[in-house]
Chains A and B, each alone.
Chain A
Amino acid sequence: MCLVDMDIGLRNLDILMGLENRVVYNLVDVVEERCKLRQALVKDKRMPNLSLLPAAQTRDKTAVNADQMKKLCEELKSMFDFVLVDSPAGIESGFQNAIAGAEEAIVITTPEMSAVRDADRIIGLLEAQKDQITQYRLVLNRLRPKMVANSDMMGVEDVLEILSVKLLGVVPEDEEIIISTNKGEPVSGTDNTRSGLAFRNIARRLRGEEVPFMDLDVKNDTWVTRIVNFFNPVRV
């Protein structure tokens, strides 16, 4: 499995994964043939099957174009079972480059009005590329069940209602994420965290498994459900 950091200029997947000190070459070096693709790949220190292609924080954002990305993705596809491209926020050239070689898309949004609206635009752009991108699914991040219960935040159903898109996963707001990013150890590898389990479930769904969704709705917050949730707290 390979991760491609396309957030040119604001590269940080390497930091989050604790691999910053190993980065020598980056995506633009590969595209401009200063090194071979295989030399630029940084192997994860925990999982030998996971590699990272770091983003160039380099100066020229136009250093990569869609055709080059397509070619790069083709090459990666022949080497890995899964190639995950992290797109920059926004709908500009960085996004267009990120999807250039993609067959599927995962749209990540938070349950905030403005974010959902941006996600809607992104989905519109993805739909325009139907021939190439055959499927797209949604991950709803930073959900706070309590706020949803108090009608202070959109719930999963509300967001799905607006976006009418297939749900891939729901990740709750979790301070463990900050701990794990500071450590450079992705939360998906930690046991006993709600968000970690959410990410592992997403991974399993990506592999085609049927994994039931967690009922984060606390609308029926009676003492009975509270006890049920207490004994059965994590279903994401």
Chain B
Amino acid sequence: MSKIAIISQPDQGVLIDVGGCASMQEAISHLSSTLQVSSQFWKGVNVALNLGDLELTSAQVAHILALAKGVGVYPYQVFAQRPLTRGALLENGVILGDGTPMTLPAMTIKVPENPEIEEDWEDESVNMSDDEPGVSIFYEPSENQLITDDVTEHQTEDQADQPDGPIDFEPKAPKAPKAAKTEKTPAPSEKKEEVKGPVQAGVMYLRQTLRSGQTVSHQGHMVIIGDVNPGAEVVAEGDITVWGALRGIARAGVGGNNDAEIRALRLQPIQIRIGDAFARSPDRNRLHYDVHNGPETARIVDGKIKVFKFSPQ
């Protein structure tokens, strides 16, 4: 998805990956907005850079390095695939990346799968219609009114542990899950399966707005001071907190942490995933983002993502 990805792992530092950019120009513009807006963030961080398959001359490499240097970033290694770029890096006295660069964590969403209906592909596809069990749908203020009855119902149910009660959830009573849907695809990132409970790996704190095509991931909690625009993606093993509007995709609890939470001043995402659960925005014209509920938190309750109005304890 991303033109630029910031991938952070506690033991390996941070990788800035511009391998998704089609040209030097694109890489430069993403790099400069990322590096400069959040310049404080980079101080003292172990940064590696991935130029992917961009073909850069020595002068262009020097330009990129100067840009990084301007905000105090000195990549300790740079990955590149093209011989020309690698040569240019060596000419600039840069250490070439060793091994393969870090990649974004793999997806662990449950996708129904049943060998018996192998040929009936319609049942196997991720068919997220409104009445599909296991898929939550977000509602924004205008729609909340439409489902007041359901709200009351659910509030009683959840009152014990959720004083505010959920304000958002599916409009239709979910069907009893079919047996076939309980199996899940083996998670691509098996090694992270053991992660349970709060993630200890620390917090990544980013002061910038993420724009379309930008992805940030972190093995730990993530705090973003700024917006997450449609087309941008935030991925974390722990919680995701957006001090701003969350309008893109957020994946918290990657690796199976179903206790993770996603919170934002304006929670207006296209999709969110927490652990194995999935919720998508309603099918609606998204031209207007100015109506919102105020600060909200999304968490899993009874296997489904629900959204709660934030209230200080």
Contact = CB atoms under 8 A, between A and B. Distances in A.
A60 B19 contact: yes
Most buried by B among A11, A39, A59: A59
B3 interface: yes
B5 A59 contact: yes
Contacts of B129: 45
Contacts of A205: none
A24 B109 contact: yes
A61 B128 contact: no
Contact of A35 (B185, B230, B231, B281): B185
B230 to A, nearest CB: 8
A41 to B, nearest CB: 5
Interface string A11-30: 10000001011111100010
B188 interface: yes
Contacts of B97: none
Given A22-B128, A39-B125, 9 more contacts: A21-B271, A21-B281, A22-B126, A25-B107, A25-B111, A43-B125, A58-B1, A61-B53, A182-B285
18 contacts: A9-B3, A18-B283, A20-B230, A21-B128, A21-B282, A22-B126, A25-B107, A25-B126, A29-B107, A35-B111, A36-B124, A38-B121, A39-B113, A39-B125, A57-B231, A58-B1, A60-B19, A182-B287
Contacts, number: 88
A39 B285 contact: no
A24 B278 CA distance: 10
A59 B17 contact: yes
Nearest to B50: A59
Q: Which 4 A-B pairs have the closest CB atoms?
A: A59-B20, A57-B1, A21-B280, A38-B121
B287 A41 contact: no
Given A21-B270, A22-B280, A59-B2, A38 B125 contact: yes
Nearest to B280: A21
B59 interface: no
Nearest to A79: B121
B185 to A, nearest CB: 7
Nearest to A45: B283
Nearest to A21: B280
B22 A20 contact: no
A62 interface: yes
Contacts of B271: 21, 23
Contact of B121 (A11, A22, A41, A45): A41
Nearest to B281: A21
A155 B185 CA distance: 54
A42 B125 contact: yes
Nearest to A18: B283
A57 B213 contact: yes
Interface of B: 1-3, 5, 17, 19-20, 22, 52-53, 106-107, 109, 111, 113, 121-122, 124-129, 185, 188, 213, 230-231, 270-271, 278, 280-283, 285, 287
Looking at chain B's contact residues, the main secondary structure is loop
B31 to A, nearest CB: 14
A25 B127 CA distance: 12
B188 A34 contact: yes
B268 to A, nearest CB: 12
A52 B45 CA distance: 41
A40 B113 CA distance: 12
Contacts of A143: none
A172 interface: no
B313 to A, nearest CB: 32
Most buried by B among A9, A21, A51: A21
A126 to B, nearest CB: 23
Nearest to A26: B1
Contacts of A56: 1
Contact of B285 (A21, A42, A184): A184
A183 interface: yes
Given A24-B126, A43-B127, A45-B129, A60 B20 contact: yes
A14 to B, nearest CB: 10
Contacts of B128: 21-22
